[in-house]
Amino acid sequence: MAKKRKKDVEKTVKRLLLEGVENQVFSGATAGIVAKTAGKRKTWFFTAGFTSWLPTGTEVNKATVFDLASLTKPLATTLAVLCLLRDHHLSLDIGLATLLGREVPSDKEGITLRQLLCHRSGLPAHREFYHKLQECDSAVNGPAMLAMVLAEPLAYPPGSQTLYSDLGFLLLGWGVERLAGQPLDHFVREKIYAPLGLADHLFFMPLADHAGHEATVFASTEECSWRDRVLRGEVSDDNTWVLGGVAGQAGLFGDIVGVTALVSHLLDQWQGREEPGAYDSAHLRSFLTRPAGAAPGSFTLGFDTPAPTGSSAGALVSPTSVGHLGFTGTSFWIDPERDAAVVLLTNRVHPRRDNERIKAFRPLFHDAVWALLDKG
């Protein structure tokens, strides 16, 4: 039975990824699945397509690196906050002024670390600050963009509603850097990725320092009109680009081996099979658990949860699952009831950001995987 399930999973997932390429959902994709089979932990990897629709594109493999976009939020910034909670004895209820170490406008004095993590700060979803900061100079643009975020009117009173906010995670990234005393990319590499042996698989790409990545094969993203090129190996997110490639809301790059391994560690830590080295397991479990009384589909601390209907994780995903999406076509979902996780990395924005075929592909893909895993 275990051998049959293995063949079914491999055949189905490979077929789905190839169909995604044929239907131009993306030019290339990789997937990772972590689950139990015959009582043992099993990790599958799958690849399909090419790094680009251009003639220069090469065949995608396990080492192909994707722009992870908003997977930066849970897999870098949120984990960094977990480290600081332990090392600095922080409270989730500290205010924004304490987090940033500076005065903030009166309408934002009530914003807490907890509200930033679960997107209940009142900050708007997104603003195109990069139009005013097109020169890529992080030393100048960081303080300038921070001032713009703090000056932005709130969309609603803090704590009263949920609105997914890039601006909130920009603030979290700057808060992490202040408390850690070093750039966000250095901190997560040192505290999380390197100890797990993942520093060569998960990393930021500071625009001023591409040393060591000359041989790295990147999946292309969009043809950017204002940068006047097809992006490859530089962050898609425009606000992050003018900040030099590193921010709390985007900037992380990775291959399927690295993302799947990190997500597998989170699953093992959640289930009590592994003790995290950089943060407390009790803190992690609280981050991964939707608070009592919270609406289905709302955010936990740093992670998304499946919407009751129309979830990108499919209709079969367990309601206690957590995960996240990335704008470039990336995602992961951890299902504690199945003791399984699924990672999907694509470049659906290549060559145009308005390609939205991924919206129909994701739930079909995940439902097929969950159904196969349920066959036992």
In tens, the pLDDT along 213-237 reads 878 999 999 999 989 999 999 999 9
Q: Could you give the CA distance from residue 240 to residue 248 in angstroms, rounded to a whole number? A: 9
Position 236 scores a pLDDT of 97
pLDDT score, position 59:
98
For residue range 283-328, list pLDDT tens digits in order. 999 999 988 778 777 899 999 999 999 999 999 999 999 999 999 9
Q: What is the mean pLDDT of residues 14-43?
A: 94
CATH number of 298's domain: 3.40.710.10
The chain-wide mean pLDDT, for the chain, equals 94
* The two three-digit tokens of residue 154, written as one number: 């709130």
**Domain count along the chain:** 1
Lowest mean pLDDT among 37-46, 146-155, 165-174: 37-46
Q: How far apart are CA 323 and CA 263, in angstroms?
A: 9
CA 240 to chain centre: 14
Confidence of residue 57 (pLDDT cuts 50, 70, 90): very high
* Inter-residue contact 251 to 240 (CB < 8 Å): yes
From its phi and psi, is residue 119 left (phi > 0), alpha (psi between -120 and 50) or beta?
A: left
pLDDT digits (tens, 9 = 90+) for 85-122: 999 888 999 999 999 999 999 999 999 999 999 999 99
Residue 1 above 50 pLDDT?
no
The share of the chain scoring above pLDDT 90, in percent, equals 87
- Answer for the pair 271, 339: CB distance below 8 angstroms, yes or no: yes
pLDDT the model gives residue 297: 78
- Conformation bin of residue 245: beta by default, left when phi > 0, alpha when psi is -120 to 50: left
The count of other CB atoms within 10 Å of the CB of residue 360 is 12
Task: Find out whether 96 and 171 touch, Cβ atoms under 8 Å.
Answer: yes
Q: How confident is the model at residue 238 (pLDDT cuts 50, 70, 90)?
A: very high
Distance CA 122, CA 158 (A): 5
Domain assignment of residue 325, given as a range: 1-376
pLDDT per residue as tens digits for the range 6-15 = 788 889 999 9
Q: What is the pLDDT of residue 41?
A: 87
